Structure 1
Amino acid sequence: MKAIGFKTSLPITEEESFVAFETAKPIPGSHDLLVKISAVSVNPVDFKIRQNSAKDTVLETPKIIGWDAVGIVEAVGENVRLFEVGDSVFYAGDITKQGSNAEYQIIDERIVGKKPTSLTIEEAAVIPLTGLTAWEILFDRIRINPEKDKGKSILIIGGAGGVGSIAIQLAKKIAGLMVIATASRPETIDWCKQQGADFVVDHKDLIASVREAGFQYVDFIVDFVDTNAYWDTMVELIKPQGHIASITGSSDPVALNKLKNKSASFSWELMYTRSMFETDDIQEQHTILNKIADLLDDGTLKTTVNKTLIGLTADNFKKAHELLESGKTIGKIAIKF
């Protein structure tokens, strides 16, 4: 099968930052699906792994990355119960295993959902990773209860990005929250409003912007940009007994003691935790993806695709990564095979 990968970590402008190559079609294990991939999307985790996983080394076999895919089930393992050959599926994959930038991939059925029937393959391909991340951070980490928390406020830092775009929709349409999103350019401000943000504030002077919007404090804050850079700002803006959550990691220790006087909570979210550790509730990702598919099919949620490239080629992945690394992308980029 054809695949796109890399043998060493190079700047995306380098000729061999991605290479096309042939490799054996994988064989599904007992709980696996063999999926013929139709489309994928790219995420920041892709370029971070490309930049860091093969530094100062040259791999014998190129590494295949990519953690979003749509495709058709071609074969199933002996213990598969959730899907059959011929099913259309979408998923965000497992960071510890081979990625989706290839013609075929094996994937544990418990982290796979049914493809939304109303969406094209590229419209569906951009949803799984960001949809799971946004759902988990809101409902599994912060544990927002739509009945109890309806009408409360949430600040979404990074509203126009891939996760921010779907998080705005979930926070507004499912949780019933008052949504404040950050953006600064006219096109990103407009995008956030299209997703359902009630207020769009400038991240360059976030405290002043939030307070000018009429909020002294906010009930919940989710960070999709930089935990360290926004930490003191989040500490100042969070409401006493509120909850902050982030997906961005931290190069330095997070000063959790600054939340003490407010009795505020903090959570990390990593969408790969369930698959990485095969947690007891790993199949929850299958359930979440199916819920998201239903919400897309009934029009409650909408796709966040904003650019589509055509073809399983090294050049397309270079182009997509270059766009992502610029930090100026809006919504998601899909690559249709």
Structure 2
Amino acid sequence: MDRFDLLIVGGGPIGIACGLEAQKKGLSYVIIEKGPIVNSLFNYPVNMQFFSSSERLEIDDIPFISNEAKPKRNESLEYYRRIVTSNKLKLHLFEKVETIENRREDFKVTTSKNTYTASNITIATGFYDLPNLLEVPGEELTKVSHYYKDPHYYAGQKLAVIGASNSAIDAALECWRKGAEVTLIIRGPEVGKRVKYWVRPDIMNRIEEGSIKAYYNTSVKEIREKEIELETPEGKIILKNDFVLALTGYTPNFEFLENVGIELSKDEKKLPNYNPETMETNIKGIYLAGVICGGMETHKWFIENSRVHAKIIVENILRKKESEISN
């Protein structure tokens, strides 16, 4: 059974940053990732462009050079992949962490492929795994997806895009430009306030000219094979429909955190219990890093403002090791 000073759950940018810092400071470590390198970024839309500039996505002061100020998905995949390979990070891919057992003196971690022991755990799992479901009849149909990849797939089709944030707006515009007949369904009174500033005028112009039909203050009541039923301020309407992109956001895996023993706030924010000065949770030896720290407030933490978590965590582990040696 392999034993490490630090086992990192999640091989995204922040998990990689934690591995880099551990390696630099001489800690034995391993990163466990259930998919490919930076799995969440890999599953982003093929044409996705970041809101942040490239230097704000850098980790460990390794330069990120992109063609434009704001890099695209393929450039970010290249950047983080090269960091992993160039630094020979100990990263186990396509391996899912199933259980973490607190044995007081250490942790026993069981995955889909192996069993490990570690003195410390960092959970850096992000929030892209569990979509917010509509919970309406027909959501289970194969025509419905909560993830958007490539606009070509929807060319010539009647496509309903549900949502008002960046992912939904980007998908609506891209699919319309590739020949889809796009209907945008928004629960609130307007396009989301956090939509990228250079994208907002584009979507508003398309809506105003009628190229993309938008229904505001509208909810989906039922999805059927060839149509979709909406509840609008003017009453019920039924639209012909071939595909549905329900891009209504995602949530962290709170069940995983609770099974580990991490306390969550009782309100709707579900904020995990951790010390921001050390990133250690209520379970001694278990740390959080990245967007998972924000609970349901998934817009609070990004790569650019959470990459510092890696240094904080490793420094705390080193202090504890020094204290144990001196005692």
Tell me the TM-score normalized by structure 2.
0.30
Which protein is bigger by CA-based radius of gyration? 2
